[in-house]
Structure 1
Amino acid sequence: MADKLILIDGNSIAFRAFYALPLLKNQSNLHTNAIYGFTLMLEKLIKEEQPTHFLIAFDAGKTTFRHETYKDYKGGRQKTPSELSEQFPYIRKLAEAYQIKHYEQDMYEADDIIGTLAKEATEKQLETIIVTGDRDLTQLASDYVTIYYTKKGVTEIDKYTPQFIQDLYGFEPKKIIDLKGLMGDKSDNIPGVPGVGEKTALKLLHEYGSVEAVLENLEHIKGKKLNENLTNHKEDALMSKQLATINIDAPINVTLADTLLPEKDESRKIALFQELDFKQMLEQLDSTTQVKEEKEIIINEAFNSFDFSSAQSMDIRIRCFQDNYLKNEIIGVGICVQGETFVVEPDTLVHNISFIEALKSSDVNKFVYDAKETKVLFNRLNIEIQGIAHCMMLATYLLDPALKIIDVAQSAQLHNVHYVESDEMIFGKGAKMHVPEQHILFKHIAAEVNAIHEVSPIQLEKLKELEQVELLTELELPLALVLAEMEMQGIKVNKETLKDMQNEIQVRLDGLVTRIHDHAGSTFNINSPKQLGVVLFEDLALDSPKKKKTKTGYSTAVDVLESLVGKHPIIEDILLYRTLSKLQSTYVEGLQKLIGEDGKIHTRFNQVIAQTGRLSSVDPNLQNIPVRLDEGRKIRKAFVPSEADSVIFAADYSQIELRVLAHITGDKGMLDAFNQGIDIHTKTAMKVFDVSKEDVTSNMRRQAKAVNFGIVYGISDYGLSQSLGITRKAAQEFIDNYLESFPNVKAYMNDIIQEAKQNGYVTTLLNRRRYIPDITSRNFNLRGFAERTAMNTPIQGSAADIIKLAMVHYNEQVKETDFKARLLLQVHDELIFEVPKAELEAFSLFVKNIMENAMDLDVPLEVEYNSGESWYEAK
């Protein structure tokens, strides 16, 4: 295979990716769309081009040697959105994960680095591909250098060869700089000659050959105004050509040898993709965890005759096949007790009565990997396990909430225990997953339960050092057992209601199809972007600044369609059709498939994903039902009580994060508003707009609400401008006015950043930590994202802690009552119960009291509640 060099214009491709893809975020609230787009391009290039050499060049800063020639070079450019800035450090990490050299040089641009390396590659006759979204680099095209220019996004490209440029412009590549000299370049603020566009510049160059020749032949150039402009702006033309010329002899400290790709190693990619939540990328990697040491573990075969009655503690690992422990096959149980290791099939457990009694005894401490899973699996075997004292998975999460937790092997390796193989090694992955032969499976379970025995005391010691033992033992662990009960309980779903909704939505969809076809004047497949694009942009001749054409046709992405709203009635119908179609397939039809034989849906709650401490749910994700749309809200009509004479009862914290913000900052304006029962958004609007309560308009309140919640989530001027449909300048003014109106909030933001820099982490009110290693980074973008994380984590995390506390307190206190009510779901700041009608009045006050007193703040916690025949009516 011949050697091949790829050079990427890093900044240019990052910008392309950012604006081509919708704003994506990972679990840590980091925007990832530019990183993801960049990853797609790297994968495509590596697969299709199979390079041997690779480098990504970045711009080092705002000032370059070109500013010495023209101080306004690249002037007037808008500030890079923080949503993109925070991604640049991760794009560099991405390069490192792919083992690709990245480089930047003070006073020089990425173009100059690329040009200098391309020259060296040409001298060595090395085939070179330059990937960029900037046409400036096309001047480097040669017999050995091809420019891959990204026209749209990061995957649709034009290949600029010398012949392509000849066909396009009628001259050789080096004349690109003459073209820029005459017409200038608005994106780089290169002035050129006023009144000279591409058409005129090309005509002049075809006739005279260069900028210099044009200026030497002014007497022959017709057109009074053109001649006058060329005469008056000679220096501008020559300077513009100089500015557009790439320096191919830049004093860089990187050579072709530095760009050689090493042997393939996927390990760093795996770690980064886990951090970024790039699930699809992870699935494409064939990765395994290597076992670094062996440990001889003797499995005692005499389980049935062993006496567990004297055991004071035991380590337990009960396993099922694949993730869904609510229904998947239970395949083995591992026990480590008094120096002995047992691994048995679940049916064998009942043959040892002393073991069953020990499991049921709260006096015998159990150390497990996943407390919630353990409780559910033993419950399925009709055994009520008591006395779970430690959960290895939850401890791993508390010690490092940024970690994407996978299995026992990973948690063990964090504490230098390396004899456990990964689940992927044992069970395979994807379609190839299987239960291995029993001797392999039992050996794996034995290793896991020994790791639990070895690692648990180490974890407890570390939690003690961090003053987090209570967070585990009094919040997260009790909560896991509450969640287990909720998962087993499930919530009844009326399939007929969903079927009726399915029919109603289908009627609406059929009507929309007819209307859309009428608008178009033809029948076509609305679900085909290719056919839809032809209808919109050719048949109906609609136009939009966001119109994009790809290899397969016109883009009909949401942002493109939204830019056409108001230009033709077909657009609103298409948008509604898409929304209803997704609702139909994902929820109305999707939920029907998840209803079990008991008529219920049993979602699974996850405690170890969000770094803030928030819960999430899967199979299904009940936190993502699109309630902003009326049809989405109506899905909740299908969630009903499981027993007659009962209702669904919903209790919801009101503005909990803003109340936490008021408490943490101690801002008088916010404290007064909440303590006096004044609407906080109205109060904010009064302060920011300097108006009386009576003069606050609905639009003022809407804007105030956006910035109130924006502060909690680390809003930027770009983010607020997108949310409110205003300019970035106006958004920044709004944020500045807000911070002036609430001075303690501003002081908190400064103080928490300093605290994070000093400690390396921030904490919630219950001492939940989030480590922020980049808070002292010398990289501005990396540090900026870290600062926003430092500001919003204590607020979001404390709000999460409060509702978790409420759930634990409820579980403790309800046992002292005769209430027959059952806790079914937790969704964001809301708890959902099933309550007998006879208990409703007393139970409502009982729950409200628990939730409002879950934690003592300087402002009252307020809970709103309602009930009805369905979850929908309870809201």
Structure 2
Amino acid sequence: MSNQKKLVLIDGNSVLYRAFFALPLLSNDKGVYTNAVFGFTKMLLNILENEQPTHLLVAFDAGKTTFRHETYKEYKGGRQKTPPELSEQFAIVRELLDAFSIKHYELDQYEADDIIGTLSKQAETKGIDVRVITGDKDMLQLVSEKTFVQLTKKGISETAVYSPEALTEAYQLNPDQIIDMKALMGDASDNIPGVQGVGEKTAIKLLKQFETLTNLYDHLDEVSGEKLREKLTRDKENAFMSQKLVTINRASPVTIDITESRFNGYENNQVHQLFKTLGFQSLLSSVATDEVVEQEPLKQMEVILPHAFNDVDLTNKMSLVVDFLTEQYHTDALLGIGISNGEQTYYLTKEQVMTDEGFKAWAADETKKKVTFDAKKVWVALKRLDIEIKGISFDLLLASYLVNPSDNSHDIPAIGSRFNYNDVHYDEEVYGKGKKLTAPAQEQLAEHIARKAKAVHVLEIPVTKALKENQQEELFNTLELPLSLILAEMEATGVKVDQAKLEEMQKDLAGRIAELETDIYEIAGETFNLNSPKQLGVVLFENLELPVIKKTKTGYSTAADVLEQLKNKHPVIEKILLYRQLQKLQSTYLEGLLKVIHADGKIHTRFNQALTQTGRLSSTDPNLQNIPIRLEEGRKIRKAFVPSEPGWKIFACDYSQVELRVLAHIAKDEKLTQAFKDGRDIHTQTAMDVFHVEEGEVDSLMRRQAKAVNFGIVYGISDYGLSQNLGITRKEAKAFIERYFTSYPGVKQYMDDIVTEAKQQGYVTTLMQRRRYLPDITSRNFNQRSFAERTAMNTPIQGSAADIIKKAMIDLNQALKEERLSARALLQVHDELIIEAPEEEIKRLKVLVPKVMEHTVALDVPLKVDYAHGNTWYDAK
């Protein structure tokens, strides 16, 4: 193994900006924006794997003002204000770097470029190899035999590495000439003027002939072309000023030494926990450790292994936990069951559970109360063994989640720790993780599962007390607990999938993508790499001469928002956008669904009831809530979801604009409330109010913009977020929002009042007393406080809407039983409920479903339910 040291220097601002604009505006379950951090993290993991650095540092810009402003006050002038959705992610990425034990640094009055330039020069003098990671072409001036620059190209997933040879091949220039090239061509993103009318090609041509900027101006009369000479003469002062601006200061007064950037690896558990907090589920396996964590000794506990269930000392209330190696309880083998009355604790093997009639009778007896950790998992696990369970009176997971949904972990040891009970191990301490995940010997397994059962019995008391103190007993007992058993039945039932249909769609889509590719090349008049933003940018903005909307440091932006603004400028744009969407459908959804069809021909998703801070349900393995439906090809995926019985139909029902109706109820805005009472189209009404026009004057664009504003208000959207949604300027978006609040003053008053209330009590609640704590609502950090304020505004709306659909599911389940119907719920997707039923029951469902769902809660405005039915999920929409 080589002992050669390698220093990796990352331009934090550059990479984070690129990641933000390259990825969709994602947020985790707490509503924290994470798209830029996610992209940055993926890049970081690749660097650690591929580069194996001995030293690593991430440099950040320290502020808006630098020493370059002394030379040119307008340096970086004209840049749009950093979107708040990005600003709040800088603090998160620093937290991420700390978790990875990676040094990060910034220097007042200097930029990340200068820090990197200075440290790379220091490293070179010590014989250390350097790799610079950035999206800024200015850094190419640092290239040397010891320093290679890796430029991010396609977002941050595609990169190009520049050695001196690669730089010469790409630009026919040496590193020093990069400074003069930038001096001539300028840089719009940094507001560096350069020579107006001179682009990259001309600048390179001039430098190949004259070598340096100084030599060029010393021999200006030798430049061919009168117009070019005029441009160079006119902007000579700007050229030399620009040269000074783009030159990286490699002698910056940094206060750290290279030795401080030593990287010795990171602690897996710390990073793993942060990934869970951020919602980076797809990255968790990247930091899994193979070693079993050393177990701390616990108090001695006797575990009874009864010969038969009749030997169990039953009391009026017994705790019951079923255990699996992973979260996939639909397919994993049951490891065993723990049962405890608080005094005696027992362990039953899977074989005992399956064969002992005494256990089966007790499980099915509704008068025998069972305390569980996860009622849904228990129900499904026993259902797989053809065992019915009734009488579940408590669910520790759900209760802990309601008490504080912002807690990162709700597994038994974590809950125990919060209530001073520490007599149980974490699963990874017993089962290991990563490649060494395995069940231990019978004795150790029995003790671990039994300890969990006892912990559940003990913890019921303090967690129930916390529910009472929060006035959440009703929310737990009448909503979350009964819903968990309905979800369990839905999961076990599964949804039938026509696999042949999915495969046919996959084949058809591949052909469609190939046709689109051919069409695009024909319209563009040339063949190129359609997946290369750089090549696409040249085709669109140079060859086809379309107007340049946005430039990046590496060329023309071809991001979705840019292409949306160009749709009417050239027929090729529409096809490119469609091409990108179809590719994602193919890879993410069609291929993904085909992988998770079970042996029974069904998909059995798992509903997450204790995850989001708003109370919304989510689903995993697979996520059936994010199948794209805006595109017809995406909606067609629903054609593969079919009834499980011959002669049955799919019946879909969903609440119409439930969040806006909740907003009207909570805000008590007279105009908004009356519009719903009158049954008016709320988006048309908003368009009339915002644009000051009559109903007949509202066109489709006005209504679309009004709709975006309506739903944007619910989600606490910023002017940046709205501008991205509508493809308009931030100034226009800000005006829309201001006009909305003028039209609906009650909404503005509600938002002001709820923020004040949140600051006073530290949390907000939904209509059904679901809480969300907001510790940052009084933070001195502007970005953290702003996010908390937006959260305070939208959580009561989103959370109340989530509570309503949950209650509707319970009410509807009861109504179906009372009416003795065979119809059964299959899926819940946001405000939509998917049911399958015999065809002869459809007529009754058309009456029953809206009757139940529209009266599940009483609001100041009416609830409205839309419904449809058909042979597939697609036909039912």
Q: Structures share a fold, TM > 0.5?
A: yes
Whole-angstrom distance in 1 between the partners of 2:584 and 2:142? 47
Which residue number in structure 1 is paired with residue 401 of structure 2?
397
Q: Does 1:345 align with 2:335?
A: no
Which residue number in structure 2 is paired with residue 567 of structure 1?
572
SS in 2 for 1:86: helix
Matches within 5 A, 1:423-434: 423-427=427-431, 434=438
For residue 432 of structure 1, report the CA deviation from its aligned partner.
Answer: 6.3
Whole-angstrom distance in 1 between the partners of 2:779 and 2:452? 38
For residue 719 of structure 1, report the CA deviation from its aligned partner.
Answer: 3.5
Whole-angstrom distance in 1 between the partners of 2:838 and 2:701? 42
One of 761, 765, 768 as aligned partner of 1:766: 768
Whole-angstrom distance in 1 between the partners of 2:842 and 2:206? 85
Q: Report the TM-score when normalising by structure 2.
A: 0.85
Which residue number in structure 2 is paired with residue 278 of structure 1?
280
Closer, same or farther: CA 530–696 of 1 in aligned 2, 3 Å: closer
Matches within 5 A, 1:374-393: 374-393=378-397
Which residue number in structure 2 is paired with residue 681 of structure 1?
683
Whole-angstrom distance in 2 between the partners of 1:784 and 1:85? 11
Q: 1:154-195 CA distances to partner (integer Å, 9 max, x unpaired)? A: 354444556666777777645544554454333222233445
Which residue number in structure 2 is paired with residue 695 of structure 1?
697
Matches within 5 A, 1:353-502: 358-403=362-407, 405=409, 407-415=411-419, 417-427=421-431, 434-491=438-495, 495=498, 499=500
Write the letter of the residue equivalent to 1:764: T
Question: Are the counterparts in 2 of residues 289 and 421 from structure 1 also a CA contact under 8 Å?
Answer: no
Question: Are the counterparts in 2 of residues 821 and 834 from structure 1 also a CA contact under 8 Å?
Answer: yes
Question: Are the counterparts in 2 of residues 303 and 352 from structure 1 also a CA contact under 8 Å?
Answer: no
SS in 2 for 1:283: helix
Which residue number in structure 2 is paired with residue 266 of structure 1?
268
Whole-angstrom distance in 1 between the partners of 2:113 and 2:827? 55
For residue 685 of structure 1, report the CA deviation from its aligned partner.
Answer: 0.7
Percent identical pairs in the alignment equals 48
Matches within 5 A, 1:205-216: none
Question: Are the counterparts in 2 of residues 192 and 240 from structure 1 also a CA contact under 8 Å?
Answer: yes
201-210 vs 284-293, which moves further? 201-210
Closer, same or farther: CA 610–586 of 1 in aligned 2, 3 Å: farther
SS in 2 for 1:605: strand
Gaps of 5+ in 2: 552-556
Closer, same or farther: CA 829–290 of 1 in aligned 2, 3 Å: farther
Write the letter of the residue equivalent to 1:747: Q
Q: 1:73-122 CA distances to partner (integer Å, 9 max, x unpaired)? A: 11112233344333322222221121111122333222233334334434
Q: 1:589-625 CA distances to partner (integer Å, 9 max, x unpaired)? A: 568x4362xx765443221232221123345544344
One of 333, 339, 347 as aligned partner of 1:335: 339
61-70 vs 78-87, which moves further? 78-87
For residue 408 of structure 1, report the CA deviation from its aligned partner.
Answer: 3.5
Which residue number in structure 2 is paired with residue 552 of structure 1?
none
Question: Are the counterparts in 2 of residues 311 and 358 from structure 1 also a CA contact under 8 Å?
Answer: no
Whole-angstrom distance in 1 between the partners of 2:199 and 2:579? 39
Which residue number in structure 1 is paired with residue 14 of structure 2?
12
Q: 1:204-252 CA distances to partner (integer Å, 9 max, x unpaired)? A: 7678776566667778888776666666655544433333333344444
Whole-angstrom distance in 1 between the partners of 2:683 and 2:250? 57
Closer, same or farther: CA 369–826 of 1 in aligned 2, 3 Å: same
Q: 1:636-664 CA distances to partner (integer Å, 9 max, x unpaired)? A: 56656666776544332111011011112
One of 730, 733, 744 as aligned partner of 2:732: 730
Closer, same or farther: CA 519–40 of 1 in aligned 2, 3 Å: closer
Whole-angstrom distance in 2 between the partners of 1:366 and 1:317? 10
Whole-angstrom distance in 2 between the partners of 1:109 and 1:652? 52
Question: Are the counterparts in 1 of residues 589 and 627 from structure 2 also a CA contact under 8 Å?
Answer: no
For residue 396 of structure 1, report the CA deviation from its aligned partner.
Answer: 3.2
Q: 1:518-553 CA distances to partner (integer Å, 9 max, x unpaired)? A: 9979xxxx9x98999999999xx99998999xxxxx
Whole-angstrom distance in 2 between the partners of 1:505 and 1:58? 44
Closer, same or farther: CA 485–63 of 1 in aligned 2, 3 Å: same
For residue 445 of structure 1, report the CA deviation from its aligned partner.
Answer: 1.0
Which residue number in structure 2 is paired with residue 314 of structure 1?
318
Write the letter of the residue equivalent to 2:462: I
Question: Are the counterparts in 2 of residues 162 and 173 from structure 1 also a CA contact under 8 Å?
Answer: yes
Closer, same or farther: CA 394–681 of 1 in aligned 2, 3 Å: same
Whole-angstrom distance in 2 between the partners of 1:71 and 1:535? 35
Whole-angstrom distance in 2 between the partners of 1:168 and 1:604? 51
SS in 2 for 1:316: strand
Which residue number in structure 2 is paired with residue 298 of structure 1?
302
Q: Does 1:623 align with 2:625?
A: yes
Aligned Cα root-mean-square deviation (Å)? 4.5
Whole-angstrom distance in 2 between the partners of 1:576 and 1:233? 44
Write the letter of the residue equivalent to 1:656: V
For residue 283 of structure 1, report the CA deviation from its aligned partner.
Answer: 0.9
For residue 363 of structure 1, report the CA deviation from its aligned partner.
Answer: 4.4
For residue 729 of structure 1, report the CA deviation from its aligned partner.
Answer: 3.6
Closer, same or farther: CA 388–78 of 1 in aligned 2, 3 Å: same
347-356 vs 241-250, which moves further? 347-356
For residue 687 of structure 1, report the CA deviation from its aligned partner.
Answer: 0.6
Whole-angstrom distance in 2 between the partners of 1:594 and 1:543? 52
For residue 36 of structure 1, report the CA deviation from its aligned partner.
Answer: 2.5
Question: Are the counterparts in 1 of residues 688 and 698 from structure 2 also a CA contact under 8 Å?
Answer: yes
One of 742, 745, 748 as aligned partner of 1:746: 748
Question: Are the counterparts in 2 of residues 137 and 147 from structure 1 also a CA contact under 8 Å?
Answer: yes
Question: Are the counterparts in 2 of residues 289 and 422 from structure 1 also a CA contact under 8 Å?
Answer: no
For residue 581 of structure 1, report the CA deviation from its aligned partner.
Answer: 4.9
One of 55, 80, 87 as aligned partner of 1:85: 87
Closer, same or farther: CA 489–209 of 1 in aligned 2, 3 Å: closer
Question: Are the counterparts in 1 of residues 650 and 834 from structure 2 also a CA contact under 8 Å?
Answer: yes
Question: Are the counterparts in 1 of residues 319 and 339 from structure 2 also a CA contact under 8 Å?
Answer: yes
Question: How many residue pairs get matched?
Answer: 863
Q: 1:143-163 CA distances to partner (integer Å, 9 max, x unpaired)? A: 554433334433544445566
Question: Are the counterparts in 2 of residues 3 and 51 from structure 1 also a CA contact under 8 Å?
Answer: yes
SS in 1 for 2:370: strand
Question: Are the counterparts in 1 of residues 765 and 771 from structure 2 also a CA contact under 8 Å?
Answer: yes
Closer, same or farther: CA 543–242 of 1 in aligned 2, 3 Å: closer
Which residue number in structure 1 is paired with residue 850 of structure 2?
848
Which residue number in structure 1 is paired with residue 188 of structure 2?
186
Question: Are the counterparts in 2 of residues 401 and 611 from structure 1 also a CA contact under 8 Å?
Answer: yes
Write the letter of the residue equivalent to 1:117: L
Gaps of 5+ in 1: 549-554
683-692 vs 191-200, which moves further? 191-200
Q: 1:765-816 CA distances to partner (integer Å, 9 max, x unpaired)? A: 2222223344444444444444333332221111010111122234455555
Q: Does 1:325 align with 2:335?
A: no
